[in-house]
Amino acid sequence: MRTLTEVFAPGTPSLPEGLRTLVVSPDRSVEPGTTVRATFAFYNFGGAAATGLRVRFNLPDGLRYVPGSARVDDRALDDARGETSLLAPNGADVGEVPPGVERRIALAYVVAPTIENGAVLELQAALASNETEVIGSNLVRLTAVSAPQLENPDTVASLEAVRVAEPGEEIAATARVRNDGHATAHDVLVVLPVPAHTTYVAGSARIDGREVVIDERGGDPFGFGNATVATPALAAGATLVVEYRARINAPLDDNTRIVLGGAVASSETAEFELARAELTVRSASRFDTDATRLAIDAPSEVEPGRRVRVGLIAENAGTCAADDVN
């Protein structure tokens, strides 16, 4: 027979249900942050006092003890640095129980802020005394109900110039997806099409800073036609980064807006659009190169009264069209 210190060890089976007096509220399903109250009662049906009584509760993964909540009947059981002896290997000394007296031991747990949906939490208490071996309570199973949350203020698309926002220069397109929920998101899909007026820079696609094997033949590796599972699992509180570079087309009119859109989805989350990110291109015409010059059609020496053909060659070396040239 196991001792009180041996029960509830990781990997060990639960105790046989000897006393079916463990009451847990709520008793079926719980959500992250839910307070779970457990009360274990037992009655001395004998003709003599029960001595050396010790009680121990288990602490499943996914639950945390609520400091100050341990009680023996109506008396608070002192904590040590926010921990209770009811969860310690030797359990808590709950005193002598005279004949015909009931003892009620209670404590509270809180469900962890991050817990996988469908996780099963098994609660059980155990009792030992000088007169009896370890006796287990009934086993109460709670099921966690939780979900990821990908649509939040930290899930955004961004568009930045690598150097300057001018035709021929590169821009960085990025989608940051944060799981602000309580459970893992699975098969996270990120769509981030190459914006109009730009061309994808081959080999620049990255997921969480790592190069990825992806179909680049269409020049739009994260486009709607190439919807990509960016990660099979995104834990609660984690952030996924999808990014690439594109080159601004040249020539291009001044004040052209480069607009980046996108969408995110997962097995648990319906597709939603990312707020659009924009970048304004600065472009100008130029005639200040050697290609813009005067051309004179005449010999090096001319006589008075001779006509000389003079022409102006103007070449626009800039990145947008020049209007009303004179």
Q: Is the same domain home to 42 and 85?
A: yes
DSSP 226: G
The residue with tokens 């400091």 is 67
Q: What are the beta bridge partners of residue 40?
A: 22, 105
Domain range for 87 = 17-144
Residue 312 in any domain: the answer is yes
Residue 228 has pLDDT above 90, yes or no: no
Q: Is the same domain home to 312 and 293?
A: yes
Q: Is the same domain home to 84 and 199?
A: no
- Mean of pLDDT over the chain: 92
Residue 227 in any domain: the answer is yes
Q: Is the same domain home to 63 and 109?
A: yes
Q: Is the same domain home to 205 and 323?
A: no
Q: Is the same domain home to 165 and 203?
A: yes
Q: Where does the pLDDT of residue 292 fall: very low under 50, low under 70, confident under 90, or very high at 90 and above?
A: confident
What's the mean pLDDT in 276-303?
A: 84
Residue 107 in any domain: the answer is yes
State which of 144, 173, 191 marks the end of a domain: 144
pTM score, whole prediction: 0.81
> Token digits for 211?
């190069």
DSSP 83: B
Distance from C-alpha of 207 to C-alpha of 210, rounded to nearest angstrom: 5
Query: Could you tell me the CATH number of the domain that includes residue 241?
Result: 2.60.40.1530
Segment 253-279, tens digit of pLDDT: 899 999 999 999 999 999 999 999 999
| 67 prior amide bond cis, ω within 30 | no
Q: Tell me what pLDDT residue 322 has.
A: 75
What's the mean pLDDT in 243-251?
A: 96
C-alpha to C-alpha distances, 94 to 47, 64, 86, nearest whole angstrom: 19, 22, 9
Q: Tell me what pLDDT residue 2 has.
A: 67
Distance from C-alpha of 121 to C-alpha of 28, rounded to nearest angstrom: 10
Total domains, the chain: 3
Residue 10 in any domain: the answer is no
Segment 129-185, tens digit of pLDDT: 887 889 999 999 999 999 999 999 999 999 999 999 999 999 999 999 999 999 999
Residue 3 in any domain: the answer is no
